[in-house]
Amino acid sequence: MIWLLIAGAVCLICYYKAVQSLSYWKHRGVVYKKGWPVIQNLTQLVLQKVSFVDRIYNLYQEFANERYFGTYEFLRPTLFVNDVDLIKKITVKDYEYFIDHTSIITEDVDPLLGRNLFNLKSQRWRNMRSALSPLFTSSKMKIMFTLVSESAEKFTSHFEKQKPNFFDVDIKDISSRFTNDVIANLAFAYKCNSFEDEHNEFYVWGKELITTVGIRFIAFTLFSVLSKIAKFLNTQMVPSSASKFFRRIVKDTINKREKEGLVRLDMIHLLMETRKGVTVSEDSNVPDAGFAATAESNVLLRSDKKHKLELSDEDITAQAVIFLLGGFETSSSLMSFIAYELAMNEDIQKKLQEEIDETLDSCNGKVTYEAIHQMKYMDMVVSETLRKWPPFIVLDRLCVKDYLIEPDNDFNKPLIIEKGTMVQIPVIGIHRDPKYFTEPDTFDPERFNDENKHNIQQFSFIPFGSGPRNCIASRFALMENKTLIFHLLSKFDIVKFEKTPCPIQTDRKSFNMSPAPGSWLRLKKRIEFA
């Protein structure tokens, strides 16, 4: 009998806390998504009834006319911000109020993921970001371009040397294999060919890492309001077998280079140079990666002598792993959507191929970093893909100290965002809002031509985030995608056929913008190369 009373009391307490939590936005006078989001979110995550992309987009559509609105991530109050001027304040002007992400992955939960740039907080994040930022400038991208281009040539030649004149491919699968080889080569100094050897060790461990982390991320999200429970579970996000593999690769590479004095212009080399305090001079004549590339904040470019960063082997491994986790999925998805839109829009593909052919002629058949990033139509196509299919469909920030939102008219009231509140920015909704982009469902690269791109409202196009916590690797992602598309379209047409999904579906298992498995396209040898 006593246990029944205790159980009843616990249930009443939980119910009271749930009701109290779900009244948060009502008491603050903020319009909000009504209902029991705890149950709704659990249903969507577990049963995968709707993709995360659709969930964010539908929320934006429902509250598109609001500057901001409230929701609940399970029981935790979350403020969605729609207004682009307010987004500028939160991510740039007043970013110190929102300096952190809302990630629950700390070093005591998972040592490897807790030390990477995305999950670091406050001053430790500032130090690491300042140290890593020079690695992703246009000059450094030029240094790494040769390795990326070599991987793209291998990708193309794998299909080119086959006897059939066309190949039916799951575009997400082959894009994933390409990004796997690029990241293995650049971030881990590990050479592999995932087309010739489909089950190579790096690809197998990389898929294991990404799949397991994705599943465990969902599990940890369920406990995001109960961080003590998450720590008590002591379930690391990265499987121990996978972490041992990646740690061993990085450690062996560092030891070999330090012992033998080997130099290879890749990410590990640049991180080792950073650890020694060596800086590589910048070349101001190197073209930037494109319109979508994010600018580094002046706040972080200022040196901070009080807080010197010590880069350990573990820190270097952590940055390489987050590069794999972030780049593997987002870059391969972006490539997939570029290929899909080109297959659906033959006139756009032909125009891009004409620019590619002209560029190859001007480079005597060997493309350079400068040549690719001087291709205007290529940048327009990639930018429009990023608008319609942004890799990060929502940006998140954590309010670290109380912040006042002033009313924008006489009818609204001021709102204080309390410390600890999650803030999210629905990128997918903003990118597809007709008040910013007319006919948003139409794929139209001309939005980003020289005449039109400067008319795009500021902060309505933020595919790689905004402010000091934007995506540090935007230049790399742009270079990688442009390089592959360049080599592929120089030899192949990308065409739709009976198995091609129309329209393409997004993956319900992914928290990012990713095509569903089975996104089939046909690679057809161009007549002059057949």
| Annotated binding-site ranges | 471
Which tokens sit at 146?
């040769």
What are the strands of the beta sheet with 68-73, ordered from one edge? 68-73, 76-81, 422-425, 395-398
**Beta strands of 246-312 (E only): which ranges?**
none
H-only helix segments in 83-226:
84-88, 111-114, 122-132, 138-160, 171-187, 201-222
Closest to 315 (Cα-Cα) out of 278, 279, 268, 277: 268
Measured distance CA(441)–CA(202) in Å, rounded: 38
* Contact yes or no for 339/484 (Cβ under 8 A): no
Within 8 A by CB and 6+ apart from 274, the residues are 131, 132, 134, 135, 311
72: tokens are: 């609940």
Q: How far apart are CA 311 and CA 331, in angstroms?
A: 27
CB contact at 8 A, 250 and 321 = no
- In whole angstroms, give the CA distance from residue 29 to residue 243: 47
DSSP secondary structure letter of residue 93:
I
Contact 397, 100 (CB under 8 A): yes
Report how far Cα 167 is from the mean position of its chain's Cα atoms.
29
Q: Which two tokens stand for residue 112?
A: 């490897």
Binding-site annotation, residues for heme:
471
Question: Do the beta carbons of residue 195 and residue 151 sit within 8 Å?
Answer: no
Contact 230, 104 (CB under 8 A): yes
Where are the alpha helices (H) located in 363-456, listed in sequence order? 369-372, 376-388, 427-431
What are the angstrom distances between the C-alpha of 62 and each of 28, 59, 87, 113, 436? 20, 5, 19, 35, 17
The residues, ordered by sequence, that sit 6+ positions from 370 with a Cβ below 8 Å of its Cβ are: 142, 286, 287
- Per-position b or e across 351-364, b if 16+ CB within 10 A of its CB: ebbebbeebbeeee
Phi, psi (5° rounding) for residue 353? -65, -35
Structure-token pair, residue 514: 């990713």
Three-class SS state of 491: helix
* C-alpha closest to that of 506 among 2, 32, 48: 48
